[in-house]
Structure 1
Amino acid sequence: MQSYPPIFASFHQTLSQLLKLPYGDKSEDLASIIVLRVEHFLLNNAHQHFPTWSEQDIYLITYGDSIIDGEKKPLNTLNSFLKKQLKQLISTVHILPYFPFSSDDGFSVIDYLQVNPALGRWKDISAIAKDYRVMTDLVINHVSRESLWFADFVSGTQPGRDYFIEQTPETDLTMVTRPRNSPLLIPTQTRRGTRHVWATFSEDQIDLNFRNPDVLIKIVDVVLFYLAQGTSVIRLDAIAFLWKELNTTCVHLPETHTIVKLMRVIIEKVRPGALLLTETNVPDKENFSYFSHGNEAHMVYQFALPPLILHALNRGTEKHLAHWARALPEYPKGCTVLNFTASHDGIGLRPLEGLVPDNEVSELVDSMHRFGGFVSVRTLEDQSEKPYEINIALFDAMKGTRRGEDHWQAQRFLCSQIIMLGMKGIPAMYIHSLLATPNDLSGVESSGRTRSINRRRWDLKDLMTELNNPVSTQSMIFKTLKEIIEIRRKESCFHPDNPQAIIDIAPGIFAFSRTEPKTGKHLIAIHNLTHTHMKHCLKKYRNWFELLGKKPFVSDHLKPYEALWLIPPPKSYTPQSD
């Protein structure tokens, strides 16, 4: 057995132990290969140590070309917009897949190691990384059928010939969990004849075969390359589907969890403080399983939050949102959640399973249809269909309630964002929420994809016209959200690790506390989920200081969709009356 200096000996041992489950007697050799990769990385890249999270962490989710400016490269335009409009209000930029791609707005990667030339170059990514943490998607489950790896498969040459999963059409795959209605096996003409390859998401997105250890090493190389380019958060896209095993659901398998653990060990070795985020849009128990015992993902998405907030505001009730939030588990040390209300994808409905009655989900879906949205479905094992995802711009999802449209859209939308910004975890804002972008129906028409409704590409001049117009909706929402974010970043109670407790005040009010354990300092976050005035319900909080209004709270009621962040008054404060 090869001997290693102490700095790598225990690392090699950890790797080989992890690799035994998926790769058996190949684990020692694989561990040695990875150690050499890591040693080379540390010798050729400057040491970086990223700070742990704090109340100042705000993530921004955006495509590289969500804002365009004529002939300028979009990544350069994005960087300029961040510096001029957001400055230090955000800590991390999640730039959605910025690689050459063939479909799915970037999630069908042709080449992991190149920046899409239509967006810019690696130097543009590095430039953004000088001022912000950069989150990069590792589209780990599949590649584009236009990739060189798949070209190798078609021609029967190495290395890609054995990078993909082949099955015969007669194979029983009825147990496999499906996120799409497209065929699971795609017939492909190769030099060896017609082969049927596994494609979980679409005929253009061909799943990689991680049973082949060469695929694992290739992906490790990709991770190290991203870290070398300035990435400090790796997002594992569609990770739940990684490992395939016949006669199973092929989702959340032990080998998949093991590979996530492996990625964490490698990342922590080469970039202390860098983070691993898993993308698993599934019910909570399955989602939180990617924390394991604090040795797997550093973060998971809080996938139940977007549909629960939308349901609460659409129905005017805190019941299911509060019940869910009250039952949230304690996260392992060194782990937290990424809170969000919208993203490039739609609002997933699977996390509502077991939380919200089916009839109320159906009513929510009907409302979204009335507000201009779309709903995709998934096929169950019995071949029945069930709503899977709502596709709509969040701002337009707030046009009204289940009773129809009303004039409270802006207030209702801001309430949704304030809830998200206050809850335990790290908040992530989608750029089209920050900008109150409405439904992009022309984008749906031109692309033929319903998800395009929430993926508008703003022309910078048009956007700035809106943002510089003090009476425009975009200007009002953008300005208000920036002010709220600035307040949040200065409040230590909002540290991601600080406890949260649900408070019962009255029907239609969602409230919780955030407490700083070391000092005992606490904050009460209160949100009116209805279009009615809530009177005489907050007497106990009179004369507390209200952070969002920057003044003492001298009332005892809540306006429609009003949100408050209350802290006890300083001892020197003299109580006031109405």
Structure 2
Amino acid sequence: MPLSKITTSVNNLFRTIKINGEVMQSTYNQLTELVEHHLAVIYNDIELAQSYQEIAHQLLDTMGFKENVQITPPLRHHNNWTQEDAVLITYGDSIESPGEKPLSTLHTFLTDCCAKNINSVHILPFFPYSSDDGFSVIDYSSVNESLGDWDDIKRIASDFRLMSDVVINHCSSRSAWFDNFVKGEGPGSDFFFTASPDEDLSNVVRPRISPLLRETETAKGIEHVWCTFSHDQVDFDFRNPKVLQTFVSIIRQYLDNGVRIFRLDAVAFLWKKIGTSCINLEQTHEAVRLLRTLIEYAQPDAIIITETNIPNRENLAYLGNANEAHAIYNFSLPPLLVNTLITGDCHYLKSWLMSMPPAQNGTTYFNFIASHDGIGLRPAEGLLEDEELTVLVNTMQNFGGRISWRASENGQQKAYEINIALYDALQGTTKGTDKWGFQRFMCAHAIMLGLEGIPGIYIHSLLATSNDYERVKNTSHNRAINRHKWQYDTLKEQLDSPYSQHHRVLNAMGDLLTIRRQQVAFHPNATQFTLQLGSKIFGFWRQSIDRRQSIFCLSNICDEIQEVHLSDINLVGTDEWIDLITKQPIYATDCSIELAPYQTMWISNLPKR
């Protein structure tokens, strides 16, 4: 059956489960049929030893569904998030204390410093690993002993909504699965994708410049194993349904240990087909749809976020028709926002925001401007001109940043990622460092916190951590520059000092988060429109879903005072208005307002008396 007809059939089946807006009770058999349809798309041109029905039953059994039991389908187009949600992104050992498990120290920090304003935490891979700071997983079923154990994970999950990585494209070459592949027997022996170096692989899209195939001596002879990222990260072969079944069991285990947000790492590369680009293939999209079906039927408040560091248009496709990822990383935001603040011109950021479709209910954006990785440049392709990208790269290098490279279509090296701590990245402009670093840094976060979507704040942004050159030297990895490890006693001293950048930023960030979580117009799915206020003022308007609250978000993105004419934003004269950040009233009868360099105003109407 053609893929288009199978997809239509899946959508029709969803409609039988929800009729006229009323959720009906679904039987095990109906859910089985839905999963079968997903499998039919994924394995459409693969000859399988089992029927789709047999595989579907195995998947449902793994997720804990029982036959002859009524199942309540999840609410479609339902938002499992509000303006109160904010996610802290951190490694399990970003903060350490002597003699204490890092996950325990992290829990203490979260409770003491974050609980008032942050309700969710993304703990980056906390499993045993061999490289890539956790993203080359040796064992998916256990917690890295150097961090703690599952009890520590569950304690954090009991106080914060827990987000975990599912490193689904590849695993470590030191895993038991890959050992069995080499031996040719046991679990994992048929889990990995191989190809011949004689095949035409010229169309394959890669984020790295290392050779794609790893020559490996096995019991069956020389095999060439597919490695999208590095030769220590060997790619799975999802043409084998046992790989899918294994990851469903991993997801079930994570649910049982309190995980409620699943980050599908590097999922765009999941399905490989010789002769294609091997990225964003239809089978990959359908695999995400299948995982969404299984996860939200098993745990209705759980969500999937796809990590697809690719051009913007391709990234948007992972939202599907509110039937794929619940959220996607807004990968274009970091390079565009940093570019805006170092050039003092919001043209490109504004054009991008105007082009972004509002997320359907049941989907949203995951906004971030810093992470454990760097500032990805592929998501800026087609949005920033080559000249702008060159200026951005050169400016970041002047501020101590490093550049990671990839091979372009014509075989030349191309900048793939800027590696730099965000606090240092915003300490100046294209003209050099200046006195506005703190204001510029907070302006970036005020813009992000106001935008449609759920905000994710990297721990080293929350703490205003600077470039860690020592870690780069010790690890020889560029990304280590923004993966500092704090000693908790040292950190507490800095946070207690009113003169430190760390104290100043943590308090200012807390103030913005406190304001944000109280505004219904900042709901991730509230209406958003881009304002036309010239190149120096970046502005957008948010309106609550019930239309009772409006917020005009205005940011001066340059180092000179800027004037905004109130006639340009049309404040309703019958409403009272206030800047939520300064608490100063704004009068619709005034002609204009002034914004200091890098100042943000959140101008909101007040409830009618």
Matched, 1:8 2:45: no
Matched, 1:80 2:113: no
Is the partner of 1:557 in helix, strand or coil? strand
Q: Is 1:41–1:224's contact at 8 Å kept on the other side of the alignment?
A: no
- Report the alpha carbon displacement of residue 331 of structure 1 after superposing the two structures with TM: 1.8
Matches within 5 A, 1:28-427: 28-39=53-64, 52-427=80-455
Is the partner of 1:101 in helix, strand or coil? coil
Deviates more, 1:254-263 or 1:24-33: 24-33
CA distance in structure 2 between the partners assigned to 1:536 and 1:561 by the alignment: 14
Is the partner of 2:490 in helix, strand or coil? helix
Q: Residue 40 of structure 2 corresponds to which residue in structure 1?
A: 20
Q: Is 1:62–1:430's contact at 8 Å kept on the other side of the alignment?
A: yes
Amino acid at match of 1:79: H
- Report the alpha carbon displacement of residue 21 of structure 1 after superposing the two structures with TM: 2.1
Q: Is 2:101–2:147's contact at 8 Å kept on the other side of the alignment?
A: yes
Is the partner of 2:164 in helix, strand or coil? strand
CA distance in structure 1 between the partners assigned to 2:455 and 2:144 by the alignment: 28
CA distance in structure 2 between the partners assigned to 1:525 and 1:164 by the alignment: 49
- Report the alpha carbon displacement of residue 35 of structure 1 after superposing the two structures with TM: 1.9
Instruction: Show CA shifts across 1:537-573 (max 9, x none).
Output: 457769830101122247721100000100135667x
Residues 73 and 41 of structure 1: CA distance in aligned 2, closer, same or farther (over 3 Å) = farther
Amino acid at match of 1:31: A
Q: Is 1:538–1:557's contact at 8 Å kept on the other side of the alignment?
A: no
CA distance in structure 2 between the partners assigned to 1:6 and 1:298 by the alignment: 22
Amino acid at match of 1:139: V
Matched, 1:549 2:587: no
TM-score (norm 2): 0.90
Q: Residue 603 of structure 2 corresponds to which residue in structure 1?
A: 566
Q: Is 1:185–1:198's contact at 8 Å kept on the other side of the alignment?
A: yes
Q: Is 2:29–2:67's contact at 8 Å kept on the other side of the alignment?
A: no
CA distance in structure 2 between the partners assigned to 1:33 and 1:278 by the alignment: 25
Q: Is 1:435–1:474's contact at 8 Å kept on the other side of the alignment?
A: yes
- Report the alpha carbon displacement of residue 51 of structure 1 after superposing the two structures with TM: 8.0
Is the partner of 1:161 in helix, strand or coil? coil
Residues 303 and 536 of structure 1: CA distance in aligned 2, closer, same or farther (over 3 Å) = closer
CA distance in structure 1 between the partners assigned to 2:607 and 2:548 by the alignment: 14
Residues 452 and 41 of structure 1: CA distance in aligned 2, closer, same or farther (over 3 Å) = farther
CA distance in structure 1 between the partners assigned to 2:121 and 2:535 by the alignment: 37
Deviates more, 1:285-294 or 1:186-195: 186-195
CA distance in structure 1 between the partners assigned to 2:33 and 2:607 by the alignment: 54
Deviates more, 1:97-106 or 1:324-333: 324-333
Instruction: Show CA shifts across 1:127-151 (max 9, x none).
Output: 0111111001000000100100000
Q: Residue 575 of structure 1 corresponds to which residue in structure 2?
A: none
Is the partner of 1:130 in helix, strand or coil? helix
Instruction: Show CA shifts across 1:254-296 (max 9, x none).
Output: 1101110010000011101100010001112100111111110
CA distance in structure 2 between the partners assigned to 1:122 and 1:517 by the alignment: 39
Amino acid at match of 1:88: K
Task: Give the number of aligned pairs.
Answer: 564
Q: Is 1:175–1:249's contact at 8 Å kept on the other side of the alignment?
A: yes
Q: Is 1:506–1:537's contact at 8 Å kept on the other side of the alignment?
A: no
CA distance in structure 2 between the partners assigned to 1:35 and 1:459 by the alignment: 44
CA distance in structure 2 between the partners assigned to 1:170 and 1:127 by the alignment: 51
- Report the alpha carbon displacement of residue 161 of structure 1 after superposing the two structures with TM: 1.5
CA distance in structure 2 between the partners assigned to 1:432 and 1:538 by the alignment: 37
Q: Is 1:41–1:270's contact at 8 Å kept on the other side of the alignment?
A: no
Residues 330 and 42 of structure 1: CA distance in aligned 2, closer, same or farther (over 3 Å) = farther
- Report the alpha carbon displacement of residue 39 of structure 1 after superposing the two structures with TM: 3.0
CA distance in structure 2 between the partners assigned to 1:342 and 1:155 by the alignment: 41
CA distance in structure 2 between the partners assigned to 1:51 and 1:357 by the alignment: 36
CA distance in structure 1 between the partners assigned to 2:564 and 2:287 by the alignment: 54
Q: Is 2:328–2:365's contact at 8 Å kept on the other side of the alignment?
A: yes
CA distance in structure 2 between the partners assigned to 1:168 and 1:506 by the alignment: 55
Amino acid at match of 1:558: L
Q: Is 1:439–1:453's contact at 8 Å kept on the other side of the alignment?
A: yes
* Aligned equivalent of 2:524, options 492, 496, 515: 496
Deviates more, 1:561-570 or 1:149-158: 561-570
CA distance in structure 1 between the partners assigned to 2:330 and 2:265 by the alignment: 15
Deviates more, 1:311-320 or 1:560-569: 560-569
CA distance in structure 1 between the partners assigned to 2:566 and 2:463 by the alignment: 32
Deviates more, 1:500-509 or 1:210-219: 500-509
TM-score (norm 1): 0.95
- Report the alpha carbon displacement of residue 193 of structure 1 after superposing the two structures with TM: 2.5
Is the partner of 1:85 in helix, strand or coil? helix
Residues 41 and 83 of structure 1: CA distance in aligned 2, closer, same or farther (over 3 Å) = farther
Unpaired segments of 5 or more residues in structure 2? 1-24
Residues 538 and 482 of structure 1: CA distance in aligned 2, closer, same or farther (over 3 Å) = same
